[in-house]
Structure 1
Amino acid sequence: MRSRVLVFITLAITQIAGWGVVGILPVLASSIAKDLQIDQPTAFLGVTAMYVVMGLSAPVAGKAFARLGVKHVMLCGASVICIGLAAMGSVNSLLAYLASWCAIGFGGAMFLTTSAYAYLAEFAGNRARGMIGSLMLVTGLAGSVFWPLTAWLDHLVGWRGATQIYAGGILLLVLPLIAFSLPDVRSHPAAPVSSRTKSRKGHILWFLVAAISLNSFVTLGMEAVGIELFKALGADLSLAVGLASLMGILKVGGRLIELIGGKRWNAVRAGIFSGTMIPVAMLIPVIFGASSSAILAYIVIFGIGSGAFAVARATMPLEFYEKSDYAAAMSMIGLPMNLVNATAPPLLSFLMAAAGPSAMLSLMIVCSGAALCLMLALGHFKNHQRVSVA
């Protein structure tokens, strides 16, 4: 019990720190743009570069998890993020700036999210789903913790000093915690499976990849354009920010609901239920217009649904694969999902500016509806026999 608590606390601290230090652009973009003499949209290309590299590196990281052990790959990833942050603090050109973000993306593929979940899948066994959900719940606090801290550091020492301090934090806090607080875990070979089961594994994996990527396009995209959407629907800036913040709080609530109810239903059923809430929520303003009650209903249903689906997304592979194959499955999912994360914000922003909020919502309804159909198919595939990725 004490060992599980220590492991969870270690992963919570290091993942909050990891996502906190790479999520600095909402606060520092204006300072970076002014210093490097670029515009703010160009400064935000750093995040796009990070997600693209994270996605492309995910399969390589997955193989490394199995070959070297998750803990050692996490140490390597955190070290690369440290180097990327330190380098960013000394860049003087756009190319060097983007290169530092690419380094952070490469390190993130080895350290952020997937590695922590893969570690818990190996370490916690049957308790992994609950621990993954709990970890997802607390890591949602990264922005709340680090955005005010980053703003204070920017005022105190400038954006370059802030990135250097964060690099030092990774070096002096995160790396020692991983090295000395996490026991080594190694994957154990999965039991042999029949040829029929092997033929099913590709279908299941690609259904998972498609369903999760389509839903990520919607939920991540909404995080990026939510404030602009609410403004387009008639809210002023302060109200739009408040509505977006309320949706964020409801997402945490959705994660908590899925976590509490996780013992009563499996992750696929949770994914189907929460995946149904997302398109239903977006249909409300399309059908009923931008009235106050319609917008409030949309925010509540979408926030809770997307929060609950985030937990189901991370734990659904455990319903189909042995724990030794979890890291490989999540890494396969990570490639398209991170590429989607890189493209969704600019694409949805462009669509809303060019064709209006209804067109953007319609596209998101189609994507989330397609994801729901795939989830229903996964519910049909679900049975007592797990499959191997290998």
Structure 2
Amino acid sequence: MSGRQFPIILGLGTTQTLAWASSYYLPAILADPIARDLGVSSNWIFAAFSASLVLSAVLGPRIGRQIDLVGGRQVLSLSNLTLGAGLALLGVTWSIPVLLLAWLLLGIGMGLGLYDAAFAALGRIYGNASRGAITGITLIAGFASTVGWPLTAWGLDSIGWRDTCFAWAAAHILIGLPINLLILPTVKGTKVTAEKPIKPHIPIDRTMILLAFAFASAWSVTGAMAAHLPRILEAAGATSRQAVTAGALIGPAQVIARIVEASFLSRYHPLVSTRLACLTHPIGAAILALAGGGAASLFAIFHGAGNGILTIARGTLPLAIFGPENYGYRLGIIGAPARMAQAAAPLAFGLLIDTMGERILIVSSALSLAALLALCLLRQESAAS
């Protein structure tokens, strides 16, 4: 990470924290009160959330290609407007159709403004030298849940869920939009011809498939834990206070793991740290199973550490294997199955928890180990690169 990169890293880290806190991490706190006010099951909220993730997955390759062509300034700035509009509409929701429309807007905003778009923007600016910058913004945005969950919960208690949505919407317009417009440079060097836009050909080969599968498996666990962590920990015997405390440790654990990745692990190929990251959730689950609810914080630390490195790997591993050419478009293709898995995970795990309780961690651990297996099969391809 160079001094010249620092303003962009600080700016993007701030806007990423805002984007994640006000979209992806919102249902964990607001799903139940929204459902009560609308007189429906909270599964409707998670279904709408899942639909928004599906939409962001579908849009991912197109958004990545656009960033490859013109850079990230326009796209990330548009994400603030779209997320703000979605949050404002969510704040005035009075029926299921309006709820779905609000989350579809949020889905478009997430596609335009979460990590894949930010990584693609950095790849367009820095090329092969992006690893440090990617790590830098994830160091800052690793606190999105640590900041977002308490702020949303405080807003819920103080001003209600509707005004909390309005407050997040205002933050996008007053904070996120100016930062993205002022900090991100206008990228030069690519001329776009409207008459004949060239769509790059990216073969869906064995390496692409293994990467897509690994990230889909791992990020389905991330999606499930983000939506249901307190509920799962309470099912394992933790008190409500222990579950909340454990949830607050995920952000710091992510950041500490990213510091380790940026210092010690940066000398190795990203494949090494990614494989290690797939082991931490199963280790944490085993500790929780053996020690009970009192080990909730240990589980959260292990899960958070692995998730922190996996977030970096989603940007750095494809860059290390394939290089910066068509990087944003390739990220969109590889990331689409992961977003689909994230979309299904909150609803699927929500239904499974009703019958399996804490044994749902067997499912999440199996998914993490499946991701590890796929990454182990990448040895020859990555070495060749």
TM-score by length of 2: 0.86
Structure 1 residues 91 and 279: alpha-carbon distance in aligned structure 2, compared to 1, 3 A threshold: closer
Deviation at 1:374? Answer: 1.0
| Matching residue's letter, 1:4 | Q
Q: Which residue of 1 aligns with 2:108?
A: 106
1:65 aligns with 2:70: no
> Could you tell me whether the CA contact under 8 Å between 1:82 and 1:171 is conserved in 2?
yes
Q: Report the alpha carbon displacement of residue 155 of structure 1 after superposing the two structures with TM.
A: 4.8
Q: Does the CA contact (< 8 Å) of 1:122 and 1:186 recur in 2?
A: no
Indicate how the Cα distance of structure 1 residues 332 and 218 shifts in structure 2: closer, same or farther if over 3 A, else same.
same
CA contact (8 A) 1:28 1:159 kept: yes
Where does residue 209 of structure 1 map in the other structure?
A: 212
Q: CA deviation at 1:265?
A: 1.0
CA deviation digits over 1:171-208, x for unaligned, max 9? 2332222222211125769xxxxxxxx99862111111
- Superposed CA deviations along residues 60-104 of structure 1, whole A, max 9, x for unmatched, are 212222334322222222222222222223332111111011011
Partners in 2 of 1:132 and 1:373 — Cα distance? 25
Structure 1 CA distance for aligned equivalents of residues 357 and 205 of structure 2 = 38
Q: Partner of 1:225 in structure 2?
A: 228
1:161 aligns with 2:163: yes
Contact kept, 8 Å, 2:214 with 2:375, in 1: the verdict is yes
State the AA in 1 paired with 2:45.
A
Work out the CA distance in 2 between the residues paired with 1:88 and 1:295: 33
1:18-77 alpha-carbon deviations (Å, 9 max, x no partner): 222223333333443343333433334332232121112212212222334322222222
- Is 1:326 the counterpart of 2:343? The answer is no
Residue by residue over 1:207-230, the C-alpha shift from the partner in whole angstroms, topping out at 9 and shown as x without a partner, is: 110011111122332343333333
CA distance in structure 1 between the aligned counterparts of 2:167 and 2:230, rounded to whole angstroms: 30
How do 1:11-30 residues align onto structure 2 when only pairs under 5 Å count?
Answer: 11-22=12-23, 23-30=25-32
The code of the aligned residue for 2:328 comes to: A
CA contact (8 A) 2:122 2:134 kept: yes
CA distance in 2, matches of 1:229, 1:178: 37
State how far apart, in whole Å, the 2-side matches of 1:291 and 1:79 are: 44
State the AA in 1 paired with 2:114. L
Mapping 1:115-154, distance limit 5 Å: 115-154=117-156
d(CA) in 2 for partners of 1:73, 1:114: 12
Deviation, 1:7, is 1.2
Give, in whole Å, the separation in 2 of the partners of 1:296 and 1:152: 22
2:373 maps to 1:373 = yes
Find the counterpart in structure 2 of residue 355 from structure 1. Answer: 356
Does the CA-based 8 Å contact 1:11-1:135 persist in structure 2?
A: yes
Partners of 2:233 and 2:155 lie apart in 1 by 30
Gaps of 5+ in 2: 192-200
- Pair 159,120 (structure 1): closer, same or farther in 2 beyond 3 Å: same
How far the C-alpha of 1:151 sits from its partner, in A, is: 3.9
Note the alpha carbon deviations across 1:99-139, whole angstroms, 9 max, x for none. Answer: 01101111211122111111111222343111111211211
Task: Verify: 1:236 aligned to 2:239, yes or no.
Answer: yes
Aligned in 2, Cα 1:188/1:152: closer, same or farther, shift over 3 Å? Answer: same
- 1:273 is matched with which residue? 276
Higher mean alpha-carbon deviation, 44-53 vs 112-121, is at 44-53
Q: Structure 1 residue 267: deviation in Å?
A: 0.5
RMSD (Å) for aligned C-alpha atoms: 2.9
1:317 to partner: Cα distance:
0.6
The answer on whether the counterparts of 1:233 and 1:290 sit within 8 Å (CA) in structure 2 is no
Q: Which amino acid aligns with 1:121?
A: G
Question: Could you tell me how far apart the structure 2 residues matched to 1:143 and 1:240 are?
Answer: 14
- Which range moves more in the overlay, 111-120 or 23-32? 23-32
Partner of residue 175, structure 2: 173
Aligned-residue sequence identity (percent) comes to: 26
CA displacement, residues 228-260 of structure 1 (integer Å, 9 cap, x when unaligned): 333333333222333343455333322222122
1:113-170 Cα deviation digits (max 9, x unpaired)? 1111111112223431111112112112123333343344445544333323332332
Equivalences for 1:33-48 in 2 at 5 Å? 33-48=35-50
Query: Structure 2 CA distance, aligned partners of 1:282 and 1:312?
Result: 22
> What's 2:5 paired with?
4
Distance 1:175 1:199 in 2: 32
3-state SS, counterpart of residue 267 of structure 2: coil
Q: Is the CA contact (8 Å cut-off) linking 1:85 and 1:163 kept in structure 2? A: yes
- Give the aligned length: 374
Distance in 2 separating the partners of 1:92 and 1:8: 39
Q: Secondary structure at the match of 1:316?
A: helix
The 1:285/1:187 distance shift into structure 2, 3 A limit, reads farther
The residue type paired with residue 270 of structure 2 is: A
Cα distance in 2 between the residues matched to 1:113 and 1:133: 11
Which letter maps to 1:313? R
1:184 & 1:109 partners in 2: Cα distance? 21
Work out whether 1:185 is the aligned partner of 2:187. Answer: yes
Pick the aligned partner of 1:89 from 84, 88, 91. 91
> What displacement does 1:272 show?
1.7
Letter in 2 for 1:352: I
Alignment partner of 1:340 is 2:341:
yes
Cα contact 1:66–1:186 (8 A) shared by 2: no
